Amino acid sequence: MISLPTPRKDSEVSLEHTLAVRRTIRNIGPDPIPLSDLSQLLWAGQGITDEHGHRTAPSGYGVYPLELYVVAARVDGLESGAYRYHPREHALSPVPNGPEMDHLVALSGGQEVVKRAAVAVLIAGGVEKMEARVGARAIHSLNLEAGHVAQNILLQATALGLAATPAAGFDKAELDLPAGETLYMVLTGNKG
């Protein structure tokens, strides 16, 4: 496990300001992002917020069927590669034979924003966990939760002054991750 820096739970940037200025920014520059920014993004998406295991994004019936994966290309203090985020430990573990950024570029049809991204956060989940609780509504619940997580990451990126864009236009079937289907991808890096 690779421990991540402790996430901040307060800042000088208000939520209202962040909401007002949040935009999709596809112009990502070449500079790496600090590990502390990646830590903050992951915590915003699925971080633990109390001793009961509640997270930053809501989950129907507290099932938490989603997993976050990181494909790092340029993060100071982290080797390029694929990682799984562990919310309880606020840590990463390498994903052997996980996707590299070049693989994501190919799956996206060569999109420039994917080529330039310092980090891709993949939001994945297995519908089976939700089916046990909500039956036929499971895929709807899974997609709704993935949207909450993606928006949290996008808002955090905005508050950090990073460029960020959501992406769903990629061949999900080609990403073989342990958590199941990849639902969304958030690309981020320094503004170009």
Kindly give the confidence (pLDDT) of every residue in the chain, 192 residues in length, as a single tens digit, with 9 standing for 90 and above.
Answer: 999 999 999 999 999 999 999 999 999 999 999 999 999 999 999 999 999 999 999 998 888 999 999 999 999 999 999 999 999 999 999 999 888 999 899 888 888 999 999 999 999 888 888 888 888 888 888 889 999 999 999 999 999 999 999 987 776 666 767 766 777 889 999 998
| Beta-sheet pairing, 33-34 with 2-3 | unpaired
**Residues 160 and 89: beta-carbon distance below 8 Å:** no
Q: What residue segments make up the domains of the chain, in order of their start?
A: 2-190
pTM: 0.94
Q: Where are the beta strands (DSSP E) in the chain?
A: 2-3, 33-34, 66-72, 75-76, 81-86, 91-94, 119-125, 162-167, 181-190
Superfamily of domain 2-190: NADH Oxidase (3.40.109.10)
- Separation of alpha carbons 17 and 175, rounded Å: 36
Whole-angstrom Cα distance, residue 41 to residue 84? 14
